[in-house]
Chain A
Amino acid sequence: DTAVSQTPKYLVTQMGNDKSIKCEQNLGHDTMYWYKQDSKKFLKIMFSYNNKELIINETVPNRFSPKSPDKAHLNLHINSLELGDSAVYFCASSPFPGTAGTGELFFGEGSRLTVL
C-alpha cells in the first residue's frame, strides 16, 4: 500500500549506459515531481508534471527525459550516463493547491544511482 513507489531502489551501471527509473503514486494526486539529492543531501527539483503536462523543467541536461503516461506515473529516463549523475533520485507527488490540502509533498523512498 505504498503511496509513492519507485523502482529500482538501487541502480549500479557503467558510464555511457541508458537507464530508467519508474514512479507510481496511488494517492490520486495531480502533480508529480523528480528531485535529485546529491551526496551533501542538497535537494534539487528537476521536473514537475501536472496531470501529464510538464509544468516545471529546471536546468537539467537533455540527457534526462521524463515521461508521464498518465497522472499516476512519472518515469525518468537517463541517456549516456555520466559520473556526475550519481545521486539519489526522489519521486514525489502532491495534490494541486486549491484541490485538496496545502499541496504538501509525498516522497518515494528514493532510487540510488551509482555510475562507475
Chain B
Amino acid sequence: GDSVTQMEGPVTLSEEAFLTINCTYTATGYPSLFWYVQYPGEGLQLLLKATKADDKGSNKGFEATYRKETTSFHLEKGSVQVSDSAVYFCALSVSNTGNQFYFGTGTSLTVIP
C-alpha cells in the first residue's frame, strides 16, 4: 500500500546549521509529494510540494526534490533559524484513491541560538 517513512526525531540544531530530514515513500500510482510544517499550538500548513519526478519544491529557504529513482523527497535547508523550530511532516497524495493523504510520523526540530 501507499506509505511514507520519515526520519525520526527529535532533531536539535544550532542556529545556522544545515538541516536534512529524510523522507521516502511507497506508492502504487503517481503521487504528489508534500512537506507540511506544524508550529507549536497550530494546525499544519503546507511548506512545499512537488507533483512529478524531478520537480523541486521550495519555500522559505527549504527545498525538496522529488526523486522517483530513489522514491525520496528529503527536506533541506542551508541555514536554520530559531523560528524554524516546529514539527515537519512528509506526505503523499494519490488521486486514484479518493485523494487520500498519507503522512509520515513527523520530525520535531528544535533550533537553539
Contact = CB atoms under 8 A, between A and B. Distances in A.
Interface in B37-61: 38, 42-46, 49, 51
B93 interface: yes
B95 A98 contact: yes
Contact of B93 (A41, A56, A102, A106): A102
Contacts, number: 66
Contacts of A8: none
Contact of B51 (A43, A92, A94, A102): A102
Interface in B49-94: 49, 51, 87, 89, 91, 93
A104 B49 contact: yes
Interface residues of B, number: 24
A31 B43 contact: no
Interface residues of A, number: 27
B20 interface: no
B46 A105 contact: yes
B43 A94 contact: no
B98 A110 contact: no
Contact of B43 (A45, A96, A102, A108): A108
A64 B106 CA distance: 25
